[in-house]
Amino acid sequence: MSESLIEERFLSRLTDGPLAIAPGLAHYFVADASGAECIIRVAQSAPKGFIEKVHILYVPTPGENALITALYALGAKQFEHVPTIDEAIIKLGDWLSDAKMGSQLYLAGTEGLIGKAVAKGEECGLDHTAVQCEQRGSLARRVQCVHCKTMIENVTTQPTKCPSCDLLLLVRDHYSRRLAAFQGVCINAEDPSEVVEIKEVFK
Amino acid sequence: MSASDNLIPVIVSKVVEVNSIIKRFEFKHINGDALPAFSGGAHIVVEMIDGATKRKNAYSLMSSPFKLGQYAISVRREDDGRGGSKFMHEKVVPGMEMKISAPVNLFALDLRAKKHLMIAGGIGITPFMAQMTQATELGLPFELHYAARSASQAAYMGSLKAQFGDAVACYCADIGDRLNLEALLSDQPLGTHVYVCGPKGMIEAVVQTATNLGWPAAHIHFEHFLSPPMGKAFSVHLAKAGIDIDVGPEQSLLEAIEASGTPVNCLCRAGACGQCETQIVACDGDITHNDHWLEDDQRASKKFIMPCVSRFSGKRLELDL
């Protein structure tokens, strides 16, 4: 089992994994295929009675079945799998709109899943200290172009080109919890003719 | 610099006996000016000149934050206390001139909350009266749970029910009506903030129960009502001022420092806000820490003291003032 792949950490980013059980009345887990094993790990080491308070939302890789079965077999109070992260986030919003104070949210998987789920939790009134994240899989970043506000998914290069306004963006280590995205700022504003080499760094 | 440096001259415009132990006092600016704006949960410091003794006690504002023509506070008479509440009850009459500080709020509503859950014990009701007026005006959802020993001692219980209807639930211990904290705190929508003001045991119970249920600390707010505890007289050396001062049995160290004319920061005067934290230069004796501010290791180090509520016994205490 691999540990979190993130080597650098910064204050604004919610990557405090590995997930650990916090006191709570209800425990909501959201994971994609890269994070499924985190849920299984937590559930297997949990005290008796814990799983009866657990709600799991899972986004499988298309065609994959074994992890769905393994997660279903945990016997959580509620288990659903949906085809995309965006659908999972809508479903999470439905669940949290009925949730009570004392709920804990656990997120495991890629940056996009974590970021969107954190933002949804905040929107539903969940304090960020009630949210734990364990980043798994690709380190691709979700970036907001600060100039035209376009959200760019799965950014792996530094710098990166904004698909909307064409500016070349420096992807900063500045993460917005509200937007669930890193900030992308024009890297050659003084001299747009300046050529900056594009390297793949967020793998 | 502290809030009680620039005191506002006021006139006592009204004194109302609310019940056998509680009186309400209303203040107007001596020139008839509007008083400074405040938000629900704020308190003022009232200066009491009682012969040669000068006391300063903090009281929550209960009047509407939208009506600045006068302020209102309620004072519970504590016969075993230092004499501040007794002075208010016995000596303060309409028409009297007094001085108060500008309001300070260490117990404000968190406006990000999706719902405000207020829990009051006894005289701890006062800050919530201003907060409920504010919440009603701003259209914020709230609920008040008000526990007291008996209906006859529970100030404003009847009028609150009449004013706020179902948003208010009352519990009187003498008829066996008790607030079930666990049930209450287990059934609150996500995004609720809880506020508690009342006796120490009640605050601890709310904080503990909510924390055990998984409430984040940022959603739990409390205000201690702590008047400076009395004790034996002691002497303190103020190193920078180069003077020795005496602290009387009913006086707080902060009041003694102020009386000597030595500048010291302060805000809540109740051991909660941290403003008066003072470094100890030398200590040969024991400090009774009565505050809610210092960490355990800071107390053990004997390097810090909160003069507003803490006391000293022993041979010598030198402060960095």
Domain CATH code at residue A48:
3.40.50.80
Whether A84 is covered by a domain: the verdict is yes
**Ranges of CATH 3.10.20.30 domains, chain B:** 234-319
Q: How many structural domains are present in chain A?
A: 2
Residues A35 and A106 in one domain: yes
**Beta-carbon neighbour count of residue A66 at 10 Å?**
9
Per-residue pLDDT for B66 more than 50? yes
Residue carrying structure tokens 């030198």: B318
Query: What is the pLDDT at residue A115?
Result: 87
From chain B, pick out residues whose CB is under 8 angstroms from the CB of A103: 190, 214
Per-residue pLDDT for B181 more than 60? yes
CB distance B211–A23 less than 8 Å?
yes
Mean pLDDT of B229-250: 92
Whether A3 is covered by a domain: the verdict is no
Percent of chain B with pLDDT over 70: 98
Mean pLDDT of A70-86: 96
Per-residue pLDDT for A116 more than 50? yes
Backbone angles phi, psi at B136, to 5 degrees: -65, -45
Mean pLDDT of B145-164: 93
Query: What is the pLDDT at residue A2?
Result: 36
Query: What is the pLDDT at residue B82?
Result: 83
From chain A, pick out residues whose CB is under 8 angstroms from the CB of B216: 127, 129-130
Per-residue pLDDT for B136 more than 60? yes
Of A108, A135, A162, the residue that ends a domain is: A135
Q: With an 8 Å Cβ cutoff, is A22 touching chain B? A: yes
Of A135, A160, A183, the residue that ends a domain is: A135
What is the pLDDT confidence band of residue A6, given thresholds at 50, 70 and 90?
very low
Buried b vs exposed e over A164-197: b needs ≥16 C-beta within 10 Å? eeebbbebeeebbbebbbbbbbbbeeeeeeeeee
* Residues B53, B216: Cα–Cα separation, whole Å: 44
Per-residue pLDDT for A3 more than 50? no
Q: Where are the alpha helices (DSSP H) in chain B?
A: 84-91, 126-138, 157-164, 181-185, 200-212, 253-259, 296-301
From chain A, pick out residues whose CB is under 8 angstroms from the CB of B190: 96-97, 99-101, 103, 124-126
Q: With an 8 Å Cβ cutoff, is A21 touching chain B? A: no
Query: What is the pLDDT at residue B3?
Result: 53
Mean pLDDT of A26-47: 95
Give the predicted TM-score (pTM) of the model: 0.84
Mean pLDDT of A138-164: 93
Mean pLDDT of B149-155: 90
Please give the DSSP secondary-structure letter assigned to residue A27.
E
Name the residue among B194, B210, B218 with its Cβ closest to that of A127: B218
Residues A47 and A105 in one domain: yes
Instruction: Round the average pLDDT of chain A to a whole number and report it.
Output: 90
Of A81, A113, A135, the residue that ends a domain is: A135
Residues A44 and A83 in one domain: yes
Is A165 or B229 the better-scoring residue by pLDDT?
Answer: A165
From chain A, pick out residues whose CB is under 8 angstroms from the CB of B210: 101
Residues A115 and A181 in one domain: no
* Residues B238, A20: Cα–Cα separation, whole Å: 50
Residues A71 and A166 in one domain: no
Name the residue among B191, B213, B217 with its Cβ closest to that of A125: B191
Least confident of A161-165, A176-180, B38-42, B238-242: A176-180
Residues A129 and A158 in one domain: no
Mean pLDDT of B168-175: 94
**Ranges of CATH 2.40.30.10 domains, chain B:** 8-105
Please give the DSSP secondary-structure letter assigned to residue B285.
E
Residues A112 and A58 in one domain: yes
CATH number given to B234-319: 3.10.20.30
**Beta-carbon neighbour count of residue B282 at 10 Å?**
13
- What's the domain range around A190? 141-200
Architecture of domain B115-224: 3-Layer(aba) Sandwich (3.40)
Mean pLDDT of B16-43: 97
Residues A121 and A181 in one domain: no
Residues A92 and A146 in one domain: no
Residues A164 and A102 in one domain: no
Whether A2 is covered by a domain: the verdict is no
Residues A80 and A96 in one domain: yes
What is the pLDDT confidence band of residue B138, given thresholds at 50, 70 and 90?
very high
Residue carrying structure tokens 């887990």: A29
Residues A45 and A118 in one domain: yes
Query: What is the pLDDT at residue A64?
Result: 87
Specify whether the CB–CB gap between A182 and A12 falls below 8 A: no
Q: Of 2.40.400.10, 3.40.50.1010, 2.170.190.11, 2.40.30.10, which CATH number belongs to B8-105?
A: 2.40.30.10
